[in-house]
Structure 1
Amino acid sequence: MRSSLTSKRWQEVERLRAERNIVANKMKGKLEPSIRQALVEEGKSLKEGLVALEEDLVQLTDKLQQEAQCIPNSMHPDVPIGGEESSVVRKTIGSPKEFNFEVKDHLRLGKELDLFDFDAAAEVSGSKFYYLKNEAVLLEMALINWAIADVSKRGFTPLITPEIVRSSVVEKCGFQPRGQNTQVYSIEDSDQCLIGTAEIPVGGIHMDSILPESSLPLKYVAYSHCFRTEAGAAGTATRGLYRVHQFSKVEMFVFCRPEDSNMYHEELISIEEDLFSSLGLHFKVLDMASGDLGAPAYRKFDVEAWMPGLGRYGEISSASNCTDYQSRRLGIRYRPSVMDLSTTKAKKGKGSSSAPMQFVHTLNATACAVPRMIVCLLENFQQEDGSVIIPEPLRPYMGGLQLISPKHM
């Protein structure tokens, strides 16, 4: 009903614009004063009517957008149906490390190695904030630089994104900034939010654009801080660095042709597997069930790594194919070349100007969510003497440091 009403308003706006142009054309050249005055009055009346209709159209479009955001993306036919427990393991890489001593969790390790301070952060900022200290600072910087360097070598353009975006962009990416249990921090008395992932500003970088087909795929690897309310999160499973309000993350993002998105989804999860394997982590890759997809995702693969101190697997990454769910809302299109089937070459005069435009597909995947990676590294590479070994790929980014050792007073 509202869609039909919006269409009618749009037609009325277009009709008035056409009439206004006719009046403007009639006023060109010499005219009798009385005729010119009549046209001026008519033009004024059309303008006033057009302003009212355009305001009405904007309001209707906004309401239609809000209703459309309640409708999730369609699903890949292979997505398992059900809640999170119905997710299917696609692959298991490595095996859990064996320890011949009492295993410590990252909270105890962090305290003994003087790596972070939750108590001071709670006083300064509130619960679920933290200070990183000493080698943990170097470790965060190393993880960020290692992830960006590795992914950049694979053809991804590095970005550092804005961390405040318009609420409308958050909504168009499929997130709910104003919902009751929202994970989004909104800025009071403004139309802006803090980002929960670089997916949002990277998704918006080509908003309202028509991309040349020759530029696709566009691949980005973006660094940002992320902010999440973590509404409803509580319990021992969320202690320490596992679930926090602010963290650093390196995110991959792809804009591509619709027929290529499944291929790039596999590429993204393959990159994640390479990254985490190179650090020596044990993890499993899950094809997430329908109840855990979220509104934008057509299909989502999660990576859950073994965290021996916590005694469980924990999510460290995901890779989602959002098809055209985000691009339709963000207005990101491309115009395919028209191909001559007999020669498989673009026809002369029938290039980008004549082919119908299509919406691109968007995909996102986490290269490195820093706090959870720190949890994995501390717990998996702890030694009996209380030290922690730095995985070899990170050492060049830590000035050659190989070991985090206890501080003896």
Structure 2
Amino acid sequence: MIKWELPVLLPKGKLFNGHVNRQFSQCYPKCRESLPSIAPKPSINIKHIRQNPELYSQNCLERNYQAQSDTPFKIVKLFDEWLQSQKSTRVLREKSNAIRTQLSHSRTFSGIEREGQEEPGKQKTQLLEEAQDLKKQLSAIEALEGQLNNEIEDLAAQLPNLTSDETPRGNQPKVLDYINEHPNPPSTSHDRTWRNQVHIGTEFDLLDFAGAATTSGWGWYYLKNEAALLEQALIQYALKVAMRHGFTVVTPPSMVYTHIASACGFRPRDQSGEQQVYGIQQTERDREKGKPTHTLAGTAEIPLAGMKANAVIDQADLPIRVVGPSRCYRAEAGARGVETKGLYRVHEFTKVEMFVWTIPGGEDEAFLSMLAIQKEILQSLELHCRILEMPSTDLGASAVRKQDIEVFFPSRREKDDGWGEVTSTSICTDYQTRRLNTRVRNPAGSQAKMDFPSTVNGTALAVPRILAALLENGWDEKEVCVRIPEVLWPWMHRMQAIKKKR
């Protein structure tokens, strides 16, 4: 009997083409067993990774994925082992096929004895025993093949998307433009008091952090009075602008399957091991039944992307543009300090998110469209902003390119010169659709019958940070009030300013 020391990749009858593989996980190695059967079956382009290991390794280093920088070379090594094993097993498979063919020919056992030939029954018994032995060997090999296949696919799933040529390498963003540009006003003694969102919100009875700390803990808050109205006004205004640009409104769920969030590039912990999302505790009965786990969505991008999981879209229907308001939950809220005071970095917030599925190559158009919507909203809110091309180390796993817009906060002068992020727009190409098994049906006569659409996502409006910016930038020290931008008046009962309660 041959001793097989090299595992091989594919079971008998399957062909390996490097990029059409249906059984793999978005998890890290050894977690495939926990992937539920209902999870979409991804299709990562492993062939491209094998052919360009240096490219993927350098990409990991540029994006601060040092732990994965050797992964492309591990994939190449495992594939080479598969090739070698295929050569070693070819003879065994051919012998098994020959025995099967011989057993199928009834004339071999016709009962006609020839001189020097064993009895037909005895010969058949020997062939059957040899066939069974070969079957056991091949079964053992196929089990090893499955293990190796899983390992390659799990390794490939760990790699981040490739990076756009437009993205600066390193950790410094590139300033592209300004919105409502004006020289930064000189710092005054009031910036850290009356021009601070926490002070204004507390004195004007708009925010309650103490009550929220008692109820839910640090990182939560109550919006009260005009602040609660402003939240609804901001949502309605953002939806109005997005709809005017051809987006359809969707209200997505806030709780999603963990494997859907993972397929979108959101893992329970980031590269430094810090918890990113909140998991929903399962009952013991659900665990025993093997039911999939849930997490709270950190952004509506996740449930919106999941709308088309396992779906086939006709190319004629693309692009599909949706915009959704939702509650978002972030377990990671940063270290205590000026950045985390007040509404700037919280665990739960309302956000209006834009999401687009488009044909491969249509990403830039969708990207620019979202940026135009963001600029229109922020300009009309009379906020001083700057637009940044974000560097490679700031990209999430799914993005090839990202632009952020930051607003000037007078109270944050000691932190990043007052700038704070309020929107983000990302091109994800087919990273998410490959992992969610979202496909596009090409027109008749196309070279490929099916393809994977690209996705683009962008913030239309994140309520808490915009609300904080409006409190600080709308502050009128002379009148002792907060001016409300005119575009929000229709949803504020025509209220033009927030004044202190008597």
Q: Of the candidates 362, 365, 368, which is equivalent to residue 263 of structure 1? A: 365
Question: What CA RMSD, in Å, does the superposition of the two structures yield over aligned residues?
Answer: 2.7
2:245 corresponds to 1:154: yes
Letter in 2 for 1:334: V
Letter in 1 for 2:335: A
Q: Of the candidates 47, 67, 89, which is equivalent to residue 175 of structure 2? A: 89
Following superposition, the deviation at residue 7 of structure 1 comes to 3.7
Note closer, same or farther for the CA distance 1:313–1:231 as it changes in structure 2 (3 Å cut).
closer
User: Secondary structure at the residue paired with 1:177?
Assistant: coil
Q: Check whether the contact 1:96–1:282 (CA below 8 A) recurs between aligned residues.
A: no
User: Secondary structure at the residue paired with 1:317?
Assistant: strand
Following superposition, the deviation at residue 93 of structure 1 comes to 1.7
Following superposition, the deviation at residue 267 of structure 1 comes to 1.4
Q: Check whether the contact 2:352–2:459 (CA below 8 A) recurs between aligned residues.
A: yes
Following superposition, the deviation at residue 250 of structure 1 comes to 0.1
Following superposition, the deviation at residue 351 of structure 1 comes to 5.3
User: Secondary structure at the residue paired with 1:309?
Assistant: helix
1:25-44 counterparts in 2 under 5 A? none
Scaled by the length of structure 2, the TM-score of the pair is 0.66
1:56-205 counterparts in 2 under 5 A? 66-83=154-171, 86-94=172-180, 95=182, 98=185, 102-103=190-191, 104-177=195-268, 180-189=273-282, 191-205=293-307
Following superposition, the deviation at residue 221 of structure 1 comes to 0.4
Q: Of the candidates 495, 499, 502, which is equivalent to residue 401 of structure 1? A: 495
Note closer, same or farther for the CA distance 1:60–1:378 as it changes in structure 2 (3 Å cut).
farther
Q: Of the candidates 201, 217, 221, which is equivalent to residue 323 of structure 2? A: 221
CA distance in 1: counterparts of 2:153 and 2:210, whole angstroms = 43
CA distance in 2: counterparts of 1:295 and 1:161, whole angstroms = 22
User: Secondary structure at the residue paired with 2:343?
Assistant: coil
Q: Of the candidates 214, 221, 230, which is equivalent to residue 332 of structure 2? A: 230
Q: Check whether the contact 2:333–2:345 (CA below 8 A) recurs between aligned residues.
A: no
Following superposition, the deviation at residue 335 of structure 1 comes to 2.2
Note closer, same or farther for the CA distance 1:74–1:109 as it changes in structure 2 (3 Å cut).
same
Following superposition, the deviation at residue 229 of structure 1 comes to 0.8
Following superposition, the deviation at residue 173 of structure 1 comes to 0.1
1:126-162 Cα distance to aligned partner (Å, 9 max, x none): 0010011000000000001110111011110101101
Letter in 2 for 1:281: L
Letter in 2 for 1:89: V
Following superposition, the deviation at residue 11 of structure 1 comes to 2.8
In structure 2, the residue matched to 1:285 is 387
1:17-47 Cα distance to aligned partner (Å, 9 max, x none): xxxxxxxxxxxxxxxxxxxxxxxxxxxxx9x
1:360-408 Cα distance to aligned partner (Å, 9 max, x none): 0000000000000001100001011331011000110111111100011
1:46-61 counterparts in 2 under 5 A? none
User: Secondary structure at the residue paired with 2:11?
Assistant: helix
Following superposition, the deviation at residue 234 of structure 1 comes to 2.5
In structure 2, the residue matched to 1:345 is none
User: Secondary structure at the residue paired with 1:263?
Assistant: helix
Q: Of the candidates 324, 331, 341, which is equivalent to residue 430 of structure 2? A: 324
Q: Following TM superposition, where does structure 1 have runs of at least 4 consecutive aligned residues deviating by more than 2 angstroms? A: 4-12, 59-69, 96-103, 231-234
CA distance in 1: counterparts of 2:13 and 2:216, whole angstroms = 48
In structure 1, the residue matched to 2:86 is none
Following superposition, the deviation at residue 177 of structure 1 comes to 1.8
Q: Check whether the contact 2:358–2:454 (CA below 8 A) recurs between aligned residues.
A: yes
Following superposition, the deviation at residue 232 of structure 1 comes to 4.3
In structure 1, the residue matched to 2:482 is 388
2:480 corresponds to 1:376: no
Letter in 2 for 1:78: E
Note closer, same or farther for the CA distance 1:60–1:110 as it changes in structure 2 (3 Å cut).
farther
Following superposition, the deviation at residue 237 of structure 1 comes to 1.6
User: Secondary structure at the residue paired with 2:280?
Assistant: coil
User: Secondary structure at the residue paired with 1:80?
Assistant: coil
CA distance in 1: counterparts of 2:377 and 2:275, whole angstroms = 31
In structure 1, the residue matched to 2:14 is 11
Following superposition, the deviation at residue 64 of structure 1 comes to 5.6
Note closer, same or farther for the CA distance 1:81–1:205 as it changes in structure 2 (3 Å cut).
same
Note closer, same or farther for the CA distance 1:78–1:97 as it changes in structure 2 (3 Å cut).
closer
Letter in 1 for 2:255: I
Q: Check whether the contact 2:170–2:392 (CA below 8 A) recurs between aligned residues.
A: yes
In structure 2, the residue matched to 1:301 is 403
Following superposition, the deviation at residue 309 of structure 1 comes to 2.4
Q: Check whether the contact 1:69–1:171 (CA below 8 A) recurs between aligned residues.
A: no
User: Secondary structure at the residue paired with 1:206?
Assistant: coil
Note closer, same or farther for the CA distance 1:10–1:65 as it changes in structure 2 (3 Å cut).
farther
User: Secondary structure at the residue paired with 1:211?
Assistant: strand
Following superposition, the deviation at residue 92 of structure 1 comes to 1.2
In structure 1, the residue matched to 2:51 is none
CA distance in 1: counterparts of 2:373 and 2:151, whole angstroms = 39
In structure 2, the residue matched to 1:22 is none
